[in-house]
Amino acid sequence: MALAHTPPMGWNSWDCYGTTVTEAEVLANARFLAEHMAPHGWDTVVVDIDWSDPDARPHGYVEDAALVLDAHGYPQPAPGRFPSATDGRGFTALAAEVHALGLRFGVHVLRGVPRRAVAAALPVPGDEGWTTADVADPTSTCAWNGHMVGLDHTHPGAQAWLDGLVAQLASWGVDFVKVDDMLAPFHADAVAAWSTAIARSGRDMVLSLSPGTRLSTEHLPLLREHAQMWRVCDDLWDRWEDVHANFSRLARWAPHQRPGGWADADMLPLGRIGIRAERGEDRSSRLTLDEQRTLLTLWVMARSPLMMGGDLPTSDPATIALLTTPAVGHVLRTGVDGRELLREPVGDGSDAGELVVWAARAGDGTDGRYVAVFWTGDRPRTERLPLSSLLGDDDAARGPWSVRDLWAGDDLPAPAGTTAEPRGVLELEVPAHGVRWVELHRQD
Amino acid sequence: MALAHTPPMGWNSWDCYGTTVTEAEVLANARFLAEHMAPHGWDTVVVDIDWSDPDARPHGYVEDAALVLDAHGYPQPAPGRFPSATDGRGFTALAAEVHALGLRFGVHVLRGVPRRAVAAALPVPGDEGWTTADVADPTSTCAWNGHMVGLDHTHPGAQAWLDGLVAQLASWGVDFVKVDDMLAPFHADAVAAWSTAIARSGRDMVLSLSPGTRLSTEHLPLLREHAQMWRVCDDLWDRWEDVHANFSRLARWAPHQRPGGWADADMLPLGRIGIRAERGEDRSSRLTLDEQRTLLTLWVMARSPLMMGGDLPTSDPATIALLTTPAVGHVLRTGVDGRELLREPVGDGSDAGELVVWAARAGDGTDGRYVAVFWTGDRPRTERLPLSSLLGDDDAARGPWSVRDLWAGDDLPAPAGTTAEPRGVLELEVPAHGVRWVELHRQD
Amino acid sequence: MALAHTPPMGWNSWDCYGTTVTEAEVLANARFLAEHMAPHGWDTVVVDIDWSDPDARPHGYVEDAALVLDAHGYPQPAPGRFPSATDGRGFTALAAEVHALGLRFGVHVLRGVPRRAVAAALPVPGDEGWTTADVADPTSTCAWNGHMVGLDHTHPGAQAWLDGLVAQLASWGVDFVKVDDMLAPFHADAVAAWSTAIARSGRDMVLSLSPGTRLSTEHLPLLREHAQMWRVCDDLWDRWEDVHANFSRLARWAPHQRPGGWADADMLPLGRIGIRAERGEDRSSRLTLDEQRTLLTLWVMARSPLMMGGDLPTSDPATIALLTTPAVGHVLRTGVDGRELLREPVGDGSDAGELVVWAARAGDGTDGRYVAVFWTGDRPRTERLPLSSLLGDDDAARGPWSVRDLWAGDDLPAPAGTTAEPRGVLELEVPAHGVRWVELHRQD
Amino acid sequence: MALAHTPPMGWNSWDCYGTTVTEAEVLANARFLAEHMAPHGWDTVVVDIDWSDPDARPHGYVEDAALVLDAHGYPQPAPGRFPSATDGRGFTALAAEVHALGLRFGVHVLRGVPRRAVAAALPVPGDEGWTTADVADPTSTCAWNGHMVGLDHTHPGAQAWLDGLVAQLASWGVDFVKVDDMLAPFHADAVAAWSTAIARSGRDMVLSLSPGTRLSTEHLPLLREHAQMWRVCDDLWDRWEDVHANFSRLARWAPHQRPGGWADADMLPLGRIGIRAERGEDRSSRLTLDEQRTLLTLWVMARSPLMMGGDLPTSDPATIALLTTPAVGHVLRTGVDGRELLREPVGDGSDAGELVVWAARAGDGTDGRYVAVFWTGDRPRTERLPLSSLLGDDDAARGPWSVRDLWAGDDLPAPAGTTAEPRGVLELEVPAHGVRWVELHRQD
């Protein structure tokens, strides 16, 4: 089966710990994931940016950070934060512990080569005598982090140095690499070089590319060829407008989702976040419960990977309950053909908002259909939607259809036909900034 | 070649004359169209609603209007408004005059059978002895006009009565029928019945269905089977928010545009409108020039039919110049694969807006590419867009590409490659609520 | 003591019963008011528009209504709706019942003279032989109700006819007249004529003028001379934007509030409304509980009269509890110098909103101060406000001050001084669209 | 005549040069002011923050800046930027040059004592042996600039040190001091200490306090006692929402404007700004011409001081023409009783906006009245305003009134009376985000 045959699901340290996560915190989250969430498909644990910085702190990056590097300039886990990483063992022990829990282990890497390695002109693996100063492109910088400069992919030693980096990740047991600063601006050469290096490493590793500010669908052929996940937005935080802006993006990307290649709407800023993070203070997600359901439903219907950003052991049980609602993992993995059916402004004044309707089909051989009715207004709204608009004229006629509320987990009355709407009408009250998410099945 | 092989282009009386247009006004517009616009593809003239009402007036429908009907209850042009329609000749003479100008002739019809015909129990053509009272369904009403009730399509006489109506249209020489009150709510039975009646009439007539409030893409199979145009929104007027709401709708419908079946974003409320119309007073379109360019560019890139709503002979020359800009007709007829590439909120406060980028390809065998960069903010904004995001990585590499401004009709500097963006960057200043629309060609 | 020495408080039939209220419904509300609300200052019962229309119905005015008129064209209660009004007794019995409950009785009257009376040329009281046709000005119409035409105040008989109308109201025992169609546009002559007629009637009647769309403060001298209440806005319904728009208006009018003359922010669309009203269906007010507190607090701090619009016996107990919260009546009657202290946009995105702070002083000889902290954003917000900004530098220094929550009815911790803010800081979490309303007292 | 008998008018270096202005640039602006603008009342030149920083640069403050200080820790002009300031002469020569042009000279000072002076424990003038370390309060910091710490006003040496600072300013010939970091949070002790020091200096100096984020009107008594200008908002830049937010603030402060004490709506970000400033790049003001007229009209009607922020010699002539429009200086100095008459939401969708009307009276003994009709919508709008709403019922009746357009400088047709509006109606088309500003005079 292809790598990332279904959208990856897991936990990532960024939203709660920023650049500062420790081995103990990673393991605590891994254990929680294995115990409480793995049955629903959550199986990947990712250590995000700057794990080689011994002085990492909240609210930004350390300027000119004293990254721990080996003799080739490859980043090593800072031993003060990752005690098992001493003596050049890297993430070997941590990856093994994660694997022992039945999970996959992922790490973050920034595009390019460390500035400090360039300054030190460290040897590139191999006999050609190249150094990191030879293979770097000092004009290729990252707009938001100063630790690295780009590789000069026109120099043959650039690929050699990158091959060595990825080989080391493979030797540690890494299953998933989130490579950052790749898509905005779009670095086609770096994307291809990473794909090559992974292939040469001989280990299956999911290649996840970030961030995706203004990512155009025109890059799809190149992305499909080289990677398994590509972000389609900038960092997403616990703000309603961040969630809202993804309606348009996912409507555009959803028709292109395929096994082995997934548009990624970013991590889930849910539960307890901001403990020592880049943005904001220690808090519970500021999204309301209905906004959280909107986010999860939209991500699932569009088949975005789900990477939980909150600290699992200390998040409130209601958040864990949302994430382990059976429909979340089930529809993400088996739903197909997710797409926007309607997006309409309705109402005015304080009643104004947008009605957004998505549909998907069960890809598991049953006749199930999934429908999500979103409402962006500030007040609840009752909508009446004819089944023929949700299922198509032919399928609506093949009913009657029964309806199940996927968030509540219970059955709703079957929509009865009327003279005006012989196929029946689904009537739902949708909360403010909320969603009603249902599954329809043909009655026997 | 299929009926409506390319999206229809023409003039419609609704936005300027509402229910009240006269024969002289139709002919004046037809002559202007033939003389000034036909070379650019504008070739259809449509008489909108209530041409059988002798007492029609601006700002709404006459209650219990005394529609002119024949012995079967089929509407006839009111002779006071259409002098050539006396003696049961209907639109025969007017259609002939329009045909003589090299144009096609269209009329509006409301779903169902006139209430007055039902009350009079007029004979349905044929020998079965059915009357209009037998074939009507008085419970099937229209929410915004009281002249008609629906047909009862379970009664065999309903199709017979409709066949007679369409046969009469065919006998007059009608080429295009806009049937109203069909899609919101969705009347699948009426759509099929109209398609059948047109086929039985033996005359090619474009079937255009309206209005499209909340039309779901799930109806596409049925629509493609029976019609050539389907509205995808409610009535559009000269308000920016009406234009703006069509960005989402057209992004959803554009991938489904095919020869012979077109999603229709409604008529163009440009030039002089409201002379005796439903909405507003006699005026020039309240859309700014930039908003008008936005509207036209969006419609063309999405391949919506273009039906000009303003009175042509008395519209300002700037409006006529917009409509006859060569790219409008050319791209509408030959552009393919129109789609949204990006839709992103950018800026904040008074600089806030959405960047929306569309692309299409020349379908005429050349390597031309069309790109439209829209900006919904209230202030102008300069955008820099890498060619690789607009053309894809492979095609961008096949450059260099030259750039032509489609609205201004002149060439722009070719985007030069830089180290960071080797394929070049297109830099454009986009006006408030405006668009920059360019064509790219590979240089030899 | 002056008429309307403090802002009137009572019940009005418009928001729940529109034009259709009956005697039984008026009495049911009066009894509820007397039993449950009178101890808090609520003492007036007003029958709103069209009590003389026997065919009144919800959702608008009856065209060419067959108003019950006497021989001079003076409106009489429709006996089918007001059984006690037979035999020319008018509202005599109903007023007496209301008086017996310890309450005041008010009625609505439209500016001008009934069209039907004009058509019938009925005699004006007196010996001059004038008729209603002589004293009417048919060019002076009301934009939203066609029952009346204006009086021609240059004709001496106009005042005579109006004197007779008001004398009849006085004879019935009316204590309060809401005269409509007076201020928008502003009818200076009619305002003066009503004031004269009331003076001549010999009975104290509060003169309340409506509606107040775009009322300018420049009319204050004339308003103070003639009336006791003047609306400063158009009709207000249970929509947040209607409430919100009154912040600016009341900030402008509050400094001009004086005993005997009150700017009126319109009735309170709270509790059960729309039973048979002009706007909307039978419902509980669509304002959230926090929005209702905002409305009441703003009205009270600005000293607008309070006229409850919901049906009292069938409103939910929570609404009645709000209206009878002791601070509502107490601060309305005894607070002075209410004014806006601050209005500031804060936050951005989904955290954006306005902070609005009002203050008032106890006018009862104590040192009490009232402070209302409003927040218009969609999410709760915690604000820290220095006491010196709320009380002034001198008064803040005369502390320490204790704080009481006026809606909750309990004490809050006293703001402690710090080095940076030696007078202390009031920290409050304010709900979305909500208010925190406190009283401050100097501790002994 | 009182200091600041009318609102000060002048030029300030902040919006164009930030912390970096040089002597030559100050003089170039002074000369332009004297030559082109002084006849209209513009007479003050102010050097804004950090004139003692030799390393000042755009876009922020230099951390731990090496301020030029004398032996007591008093800031001295950096000689590299102010060549005439060598040998301890301070601003003596520059002030003299400005005085020779007939203008007044102002400087900016930050609250407190330089951190570097505190660290060096420099002697406080006098015999007590106190040092700057004794009189400083290191806990009292500024939120946005780290150069200073507060004075400990409970220590007697604090006033002594401040007296010495102000005596030096007086000795240089300073006429105007803008003291920063005073009001947000509100430092009542520092305000009083500055007022005392100025009085002791024996020189008339206008005391201008900044910034005014969330300044409450409750501080008015203390402000009036000690200062002549107080900011009522945070820094204002060339953004429409910054201008818009001042409508509410100025409506609240305008009734409190008095000779000798003026609420200050901040500098005018017009003409060429951002040359080397804190915010943004070198640019012409991003406010449209209509927004600039709105800003100036609102400031003038509310009588805010006018301090031009753009570089005068290189600003476009249209901006200079605005500033020297005769009504600007004339109404600012002689208009009285400026106040908001109306603020009303009108329209909806793309036609929505607020109508805001202000009025003022001529304070020069004539019967002139000033009216400003603002419109915040995005499209032009025609308004009809009865004279009685603009002038009051009595004054409107004393007409007829003639009307002069103050921005265009020409006469408009006199409003004619009609039956419905006997006093006449002023009909004006107001541009988007714009204003129409008129003077009314009784015709003889």
- Contact residues, chain B, for C349 at CB < 8 Å: 348
* Structure token pair of residue D342: 């109306």
Name the strand (E) or helix (H) holding A119.
Answer: helix A115-120
Q: What's the gap in Å between the CA of C139 and the closest CA on chain D?
A: 8
Please report residues of C whose CB lies closer than 8 A to that of A240: 349-350
Pairing of strands B262-264, C148-151: unpaired
* Cβ-Cβ contacts under 8 Å, B349 against chain C: 348
Using DSSP's 3-state secondary structure scheme, residue D85 falls into helix
Contact check, Cβ <8 Å, B286/D379? yes
How many angstroms separate the CA of residue B324 from the nearest CA in chain A?
A: 31
Contacts of C379 in chain A (CB under 8 A): 286
Identify all chain A residues contacting B195, using CB atoms and an 8 Å cutoff. none
Q: Determine the residue among C182, C209, C218 to mutate to test chain D binding: the one whose Cβ has the most chain D Cβ atoms within 10 Å.
A: C218
Confidence check: pLDDT of D419 > 80:
no
**Residue from the list C252, C255, C389 with its beta carbon closest to the beta carbon of D216:** C389
Mean pLDDT of C290-297: 98
Mean pLDDT of chain D: 95
Percent of chain B beyond pLDDT 90? 91
Q: Which chain B residues are within 8 Å of A343, Cβ to Cβ?
A: 248-249, 252
B-C interface: how many C-beta pairs under 8 angstroms? 3
* Concatenated DSSP letters of D407-427: TTTEEEPPPPP-SS-TT-EEE
Looking at chain A, which subunits does it touch, using at least 3 CB pairs closer than 8 Å as the criterion? B, C, D
Q: What is the pLDDT of residue B280?
A: 84
CB contacts, 8 Å: A349 with chain D: 348
Q: Which residues of C touch B345 (CB under 8 A)?
A: none
For B197-227, the pLDDT digits (tens) are 999 999 999 999 999 999 999 999 999 999 9
Query: What chain A residue is nearest to B425 in terms of C-alpha separation?
Result: A185
Beta-strand ranges (E) seen in B131-182 are: 136-137, 148-151, 176-180
For chain B, give the percent of residues with pLDDT over 70: 99
8 A C-beta contact, residue C444 and residue C414:
no
Cα separation, A92 vs B89, in Å, equals 91
Q: Which amino acid is at C71?
A: A
Closest residue to A245, CB basis, from B213, B222, B345: B345
AA letter at D78? A
Average pLDDT on B267-271 reads: 97
Residues of D in contact with C355 (CB under 8 A): 214
Query: Number of helices and strands (H, E) in chain B?
Result: 14, 21
Closest Cα in chain C, distance from residue A215 (Å):
23
Convert the pLDDT of each residue in C245-280 to its tens digit. Answer: 999 999 999 999 999 999 999 999 999 999 999 888
- Cα separation of A340 and A359, whole Å? 7
- AA identity, residue B245: A
Contacts with B26 (C-beta within 8 Å, 6 or more apart), sequence order: B13, B45, B47, B94, B98
Taking contacts as CB-CB distances below 8 angstroms, the residues of chain B near C348 are: 348-349
Alpha-helical segments (H) within A235-344: 240-253, 289-302, 317-323, 326-334
Chain segment C125-136, per-residue pLDDT in tens: 999 999 999 999
Cβ atoms < 10 Å from Cβ of A324: 16
Query: What pLDDT, on a 0 to 100 scale, did the predictor assign at position A280?
Result: 84
Contact D251 C249 (CB under 8 A): no
Tell me if D350 and B241 make a contact (CB, 8 A cut-off): yes
Long-range contacts of the stretch A64-68 (C-beta < 8 A, 24+): A64/A115, A64/A146, A65/A147, A66/A116, A67/A114, A67/A116, A67/A147
Tell me if B337 sits within 8 A of B361, measured CB to CB.
Answer: yes
Nearest to D343 among C185, C213, C248 (CB): C248
Alpha-carbon span C376 to D302, nearest angstrom: 26
Q: What share of chain A is helix, strand, coil (3-state, %, to 5)?
A: 35, 25, 40
Spatial contact of A137 and A66, defined as CB atoms under 8 Å apart? no
Chain A residues with CB-CB distance to B213 below 8 A: 344
List of chain B residues whose C-beta atoms are within 8 Å of the C-beta of residue D240: 349-350
% of chain D with per-residue pLDDT over 90: 91
pLDDT at residue D444, as a whole number: 65
Q: Which residues pair with A9 in a beta bridge?
A: A306
> How confident is the model at residue A444, as a pLDDT?
65
Q: Is the pLDDT of residue B443 over 90?
A: no
How many Cα neighbours within 13 Å face the side chain of A88? Answer: 6
Rounded to an integer, the average pLDDT of D329-338 is: 95
Nearest chain B residue (CA) to D243? B350
| CA–CA min distance D25, chain C (Å) | 35
Minimal Cα–Cα distance from B98 to chain D, Å? 38
Select the residue from D350, D351, D378, D379 to test the B interface by mutation, using most B Cβ atoms within 10 A. Answer: D350
Q: Do C239 and A349 touch (CB under 8 A)?
A: yes
What's the gap in Å between the CA of B432 and the closest CA on chain C? 21
Q: Taking residues D171-189, report their average pLDDT.
A: 96
Phi, psi of A258 (to 5 degrees): -145, 150
Task: Locate the DSSP E strands across D3-144.
Answer: 9-12, 44-47, 104-110, 113-114, 136-137
Of D128, D82, D134, the closest CA to residue D113 belongs to D134
Q: Cβ separation of B218 and A388 shorter than 8 Å?
A: yes
pLDDT at residue B202 in the model: 92
Question: Is C423 exposed, middle or buried, given 0-12, 13-18 or 19+ CB atoms closer than 10 A?
Answer: buried
pLDDT for res A399: 83
Q: How many CB atoms lie within 10 A of CB A228?
A: 24
Provide the pLDDT for residue A152.
96
Residue of C240, C286, C349 with shortest CB distance to A239: C349
Q: How many angstroms away from the CA of A383 is the closest CA of chain D? A: 23
Per-residue model confidence as pLDDT tens digits over D251-291 = 999 999 999 999 999 999 999 999 999 888 899 999 999 99
Q: Is-contact D107 D81, C-beta < 8 A? A: no
Residue in chain B lying closest to C347 (CA): B349
pLDDT confidence bin for C444, thresholds 50/70/90: low
Q: Closest approach of chain B CAs to the CA of D286, in angstroms? A: 9
For residue B246, the cross-strand partners are none
Q: Do A378 and C379 touch (CB under 8 A)?
A: no
- Test D255 with C255 for CB contact under 8 angstroms: yes
**Is the dihedral angle over the CA atoms D259, D260, D265, D269 positive or is it negative?**
positive
Which of B213, B393, B395, B423 would best serve as a mutation to test chain A binding (most A beta carbons within 10 A)? Answer: B393
Residue B25 CA to chain centroid, in angstroms? 20
Chunked into runs of 10 residues, chain A (444 residues) has average pLDDT values of 89 97 98 96 97 93 93 97 94 97 97 97 95 96 94 96 98 98 95 96 96 94 96 96 97 95 97 92 94 98 98 96 97 95 92 96 89 96 94 90 96 86 92 97 83
Q: Is D350 close to B239, i.e. CB distance below 8 A?
A: yes
pLDDT for position D443 = 83
Q: Can you give the pLDDT at residue D420? A: 78
pLDDT at C1 > cutoff 90:
no
Does the distance separating the beta carbons of B351 and D379 come in below 8 Å?
A: no
Map out the domains of chain C with their CATH numbers.
Answer: 9-324 (3.20.20.70), 338-442 (2.60.40.1180)
Q: Which residues in chain C are contacts of A378 at CB distance < 8 A? A: 378
Interface of C with B (CB under 8 A): 348-349
| Tokens standing for residue D300 | 């003038």
Find the helix packing angle between B326-334 and B289-302, rounded to 10°.
20
Is the pLDDT assigned to residue B279 strictly greater than 90? no
D365 pLDDT more than 60: yes
Give percent of chain D above pLDDT 70: 99
pTM of the predicted protein model? 0.88
pLDDT of residue B444: 65
| Residue B419: pLDDT over 80 | no
Q: In Å, how far is A275's CA from the nearest CA of chain D?
A: 24
Q: Are B302 and B15 in contact (CB under 8 A)?
A: no
Kindly state the average pLDDT of the residues C321-340. Answer: 96
> Averaged over B102-111, what is the pLDDT?
98
Closest C-chain CA to D391: C218
Please count the other Cβ atoms lying within 10 Å of the Cβ belonging to residue C133: 15
Q: B43 φ, ψ to 5°?
A: -145, 10
Residues whose CB is less than 8 angstroms from the CB of residue C361 and which lie 6 or more positions away in sequence, other chains included:
C335, C336, C337, C368, C369, C370
- D78 — pLDDT class (breaks 50, 70, 90): very high
Candidates C372, A236, C384; CA nearest to D214 is C384
ipTM associated with this complex? 0.93
| A241: closest CA of chain C, how far (Å) | 6
Residue with tokens 């050469």: A189
Specify the pLDDT at position D356. Answer: 98
Average pLDDT, rounded, for chain B: 95
